[in-house]
Copies of this chain bind each other. A is one copy, B any other.
Amino acid sequence: MTSQFLSELARMLGSAVLTGDAVSDKHRTDMSLSGTELPLAVIRPRTTEEVSAALRVCHAHGIGVVPQGGLTGLAGGANPGADQVVISFELMRGIEEIDKASATMTVKAGTPLEVAQQAAAGAGLFLGLDLGARGSYQIGGNLATNAGGIRVIRYGMAREQVLGLEAVLADGTVVSSMNKMLKNNAGYDLKHLFIGSEGTLGIITRAVLRLHPPPGNINTALCALSSYEDVVKLLRDAQATIGNIAAFEALWRDYHVYSSSALKFRFFENPYPFWVIIESANDMETFLGGALESGLITDCIIATSEIQARDMWSVREGHAIDALPNLINFDVSLPIAGIGAFAEACTNALKTRWPAAHVFCFGHIGDSNLHVSVSTHFGAAEDMHDVDDIVYGTLRPFNGSISAEHGIGVMKRPYLAQSRSPAELALMRTLKRALDPKGILNPGKVI
Option from B179, B182, B187, B426 in Cβ contact (under 8 Å) with A446? B187
Q: Give the Cβ gap from A187 to chain B, nearest Cβ, in Å.
A: 5
State in angstroms the CA–CA spacing of A187 and B145 once bound together: 9
Q: Give the Cβ gap from A250 to chain B, nearest Cβ, in Å.
A: 13
User: Given that A103-B236, A430-B435, A434-B434 are known contacts, is A145 also in contact with B176, CB under 8 Å in the complex?
Assistant: no
State in angstroms the CA–CA spacing of A423 and B188 once bound together: 13
Chain B residues near A104 (CB, 8 Å)?
335
**Contact mask for chain A residues 188-224; partner B; CB cutoff 8 A; 1 contact, 0 none:** 1110110111000100000000001110000000000
Are A333 and B244 in contact, with the CB atoms below 8 A?
A: no
Q: Is the CB of A407 closer than 8 A to any CB of chain B?
A: yes
Q: Is the CB of A10 closer than 8 A to any CB of chain B?
A: no
State in angstroms the CA–CA spacing of A156 and B154 once bound together: 13
State in angstroms the CA–CA spacing of A244 and B177 once bound together: 29
Chain B residues near A84 (CB, 8 Å)?
none
State in angstroms the CA–CA spacing of A61 and B182 once bound together: 40
Chain B residues near A159 (CB, 8 Å)?
189
Q: Is the CB of A305 closer than 8 A to any CB of chain B?
A: no
Interface residues of A in 4-21 (CB under 8 A from B): none
Interface residues of A in 257-284 (CB under 8 A from B): 281
Are B404 and A183 in contact, with the CB atoms below 8 A?
A: yes
Q: Is the CB of A401 closer than 8 A to any CB of chain B?
A: yes
Q: Give the Cβ gap from A147 to chain B, nearest Cβ, in Å.
A: 7
Copies of this chain in the oligomer: 2
Q: Is the CB of A357 closer than 8 A to any CB of chain B?
A: no
Q: Is the CB of A369 closer than 8 A to any CB of chain B?
A: yes
Q: Is the CB of A181 closer than 8 A to any CB of chain B?
A: yes
State in angstroms the CA–CA spacing of A399 and B106 once bound together: 15
Are B175 and A424 in contact, with the CB atoms below 8 A?
A: yes
User: Given that A160-B160, A184-B404, A428-B188 are known contacts, is A176 also in contact with B146, CB under 8 Å in the complex?
Assistant: no
Q: Give the Cβ gap from A99 to chain B, nearest Cβ, in Å.
A: 6
Option from B148, B180, B212, B425 in Cβ contact (under 8 Å) with A399? B180
Chain B residues near A408 (CB, 8 Å)?
185-187
Are B427 and A175 in contact, with the CB atoms below 8 A?
A: yes
Are B399 and A185 in contact, with the CB atoms below 8 A?
A: no
Chain B residues near A434 (CB, 8 Å)?
430-431, 433-434
Are B182 and A157 in contact, with the CB atoms below 8 A?
A: yes
Are A147 and B403 in contact, with the CB atoms below 8 A?
A: no
State in angstroms the CA–CA spacing of A190 and B425 once bound together: 10
Best-surrounded residue of A102, A197, A402, A403 (most CB of chain B within 10 A): A102
Q: Is the CB of A101 closer than 8 A to any CB of chain B?
A: yes
Q: Give the Cβ gap from A104 to chain B, nearest Cβ, in Å.
A: 7
**Contact mask for chain A residues 136-149; partner B; CB cutoff 8 A; 1 contact, 0 none:** 00000000011110
Name the residue of chain B whose CB is nearest to the CB of A201: B188
Provide 12 A-B residue pairs closer than 8 Å at the C-beta atoms, listed in order of the A residue: A101-B337, A103-B236, A157-B182, A181-B368, A181-B400, A186-B402, A186-B408, A187-B408, A188-B193, A193-B431, A213-B236, A213-B243
